[in-house]
Structure 1
């Protein structure tokens, strides 16, 4: 089983709303990441985009492709919820991502970067396309409280 760390948490309360980086948050099956507008369940069933994750190494590689320092653009501008380090995210639907004591996220699909990335920096969308650098989307299977520094485990 692969092990890594949670190194960033971010949310936004409305489409195109400001990004808020936080140190800890509650995550539930019903609402996803507390305070993030994408997490709420639809009345007709589970959402595919409840929560999004990217890797620190993928973000750094995208920045390098743009000849930028790794922190030249904040990772949260990607509009992902969780930044992970020391672990490769699964690339298949159904894999389980365990964070902290109880949170379990099911990988659903790749998170393709949108054209909004071009508004942030020319070429960012293309830099996030290879090797799942844009991250993955998941749905919450079991909720829990998470905080920066929590251990992440992948179960295929």
Structure 2
């Protein structure tokens, strides 16, 4: 069987970077009712276009790059392992809005993703841990989160988001990419 990527190394890498056929899943949704309050785990949330999740205290400016935060489900166990904990870290302790499984979130940087039938996000960057992780996870919490802090995103299209919704990359030819 022939290797499907032809041309110079740069074009091969570009093709590989553009190839992400997997579909992920929304595993958890969290709302922060007030600053420094525990996150509320919900099964469904309304997402406001170019703003935030309804019920979340954060009110980012329209056009902001950090309107919603995501973390990879598979990293919850990794962070726990670095801390010597017997089971995965509860996602509410990590202060992110969404937990997504089945996709390498870092591969989504600078791309658009669709969650469920309506919501479209533009991944804008990494969500680095803050010193609060020491308070939340104990000594070493900050360093355990390094490289596992997740991503930030801008909300391109709002709608209803539910735990269990599919997460997929939106390609240039997809209707949701417009």
Give me the TM-score of the superposition, normalised by structure 2: 0.78
Instruction: Give the number of the structure with larger relative contact order, counting CA–CA contacts within 8 Å between residues 6 or more apart.
Output: 1
Tell me which residue corresponds to 2:162.
Answer: 147
Structure 1 residues 60-99: aligned runs within 5 Å? 60-71=77-88, 73-91=89-107, 93-99=109-115
Ranges of 4+ aligned residues in structure 1 off by more than 2 Å: 90-94
Could you say what the CA RMSD is over the residues aligned between the two structures, in angstroms? 1.6
Deviation of residue 94 (structure 1)?
2.4
Structure 2, unmatched stretches of 5+, are: 1-20, 172-178
- SS of the residue corresponding to residue 37 of structure 2 reads coil
Q: Deviations over 1:59-116 (max 9, x none)?
A: 2111111111233x41111000001111111456421121000100101110000000
The alignment of Structure 1 onto Structure 2 pairs a total of residues equal to 150
CA contact (8 A) 1:95 1:154 kept: yes
CA contact (8 A) 2:68 2:97 kept: yes
| Structure 2 residue 67 is the aligned partner of structure 1 residue 54 | no
Larger % of helix: which? 2
Structure 1, unmatched stretches of 5+, are: none
Q: Give the stretch that moved more between structures: 74-83 or 22-31.
A: 22-31
Deviation of residue 2 (structure 1)?
2.3
The structure whose Rg is larger is 2
Larger % of strand: which? 1
